[in-house]
Structure 1
Amino acid sequence: MSAFPRPSVGDELPPMIIESVDAEKMKTMAALLGDSNPIHWDVDTVRELGMGDQPVNQGPNNLGYVMNMLGDWAGGAERIQKIRVRFLDNVFAGDRLEAGGTVTAVGDDGTIECDVWLARDGTHPVLAGTATLVLVV
């Protein structure tokens, strides 16, 4: 068994705050992913689609915020065994985000089940799901 303290059902995971989603990083990620969708860098396209006036963050970035929060809490990303999420809303450049979660089950086999989420301004959910972590790697 690792030195990771055994959590209890109902424990809140320490939140991770993203003060401001960076539009320049969206451009870089679009290039890395080979993502040709202009909503990630072209404000005119975003406006034409009626989506506002800021570029839209990529879904993998949003999932990554939650995975980073889980890894920070659990002592490493290698402890994440499974994660399933639904994307509920867009995240835009400049948004302030909070990733968090709650322990929902603790198994005798060393697994931890959590509800996880990402919220704009800490209140508006943009991603929600579940994660399974393992205490022993």
Structure 2
Amino acid sequence: MTMPPPTVGSELPAFTVTVSARTMCDWALYLRDPNPIHLDPDFVRARGLGDRVINQGPANLAYIINMLAGAFPGARIASLESRFVDNAYDGDRLTAGGRVVETDGRQAICDVWLTADGDRPIIQGRAVILPPP
């Protein structure tokens, strides 16, 4: 089944996940990132960064990529620009979303974002999507 071509203004289906300290431990292994801000709430607290461990940036970006893969099955992400605007913490419910802002029949340009608990921006960006080969 093929999807209809995207139309300017259409919202992309959201991808939602709740992050946990346990998954941050897994991500730390996968990414070879032993930074204690992802593993030790006392370290986070001592640095004045809050009371909960902080999710890895690459994991946050992966949630946007998962959202794009679901919205455009078989398509290719030609580019993805992102700006990290806040941290995601243990227990945050993250939602990756997007909106088509331009299309010319051969590509779709989408604003993309990741928010925590519905309204706190974590990542803002733009993706260029090419149709499946």
Please tell me the TM-score bracket, short chain as reference.
over 0.9
Distance 1:89 1:135 in 2: 31
Looking at secondary structure, tell me which structure has more strand per residue. 2
1:121 corresponds to: 117
1:4 is displaced (CA, Å) by 2.4
Q: Which residues in structure 2 correspond to 1:53-72 (within 5 Å)?
A: 53-72=51-70
Instruction: Please give the root-mean-square deviation of Cα atoms over the aligned residues, in Å.
Output: 1.3
- Residue identity (%): 44
May I ask how many residue pairs the two structures share in their alignment?
133
Unaligned runs of 5+ in 1: none
Distance 1:50 1:37 in 2: 15
Task: Give the 4+ runs in structure 1 shifted more than 4 A.
Answer: none
1:134 is displaced (CA, Å) by 1.0
2:88 is equivalent to residue 91 of structure 1: yes
TM-score normalized with structure 2 length: 0.94
1:17 is displaced (CA, Å) by 1.5
SS of residue matched to 2:13: coil
1:124 is displaced (CA, Å) by 1.0
Unaligned runs of 5+ in 2: none
Distance 2:31 2:16 in 1: 24
| Aligned residue type for 1:63 | L
TM-score normalized with structure 1 length: 0.91
Distance 1:12 1:33 in 2: 31
2:87 is equivalent to residue 104 of structure 1: no
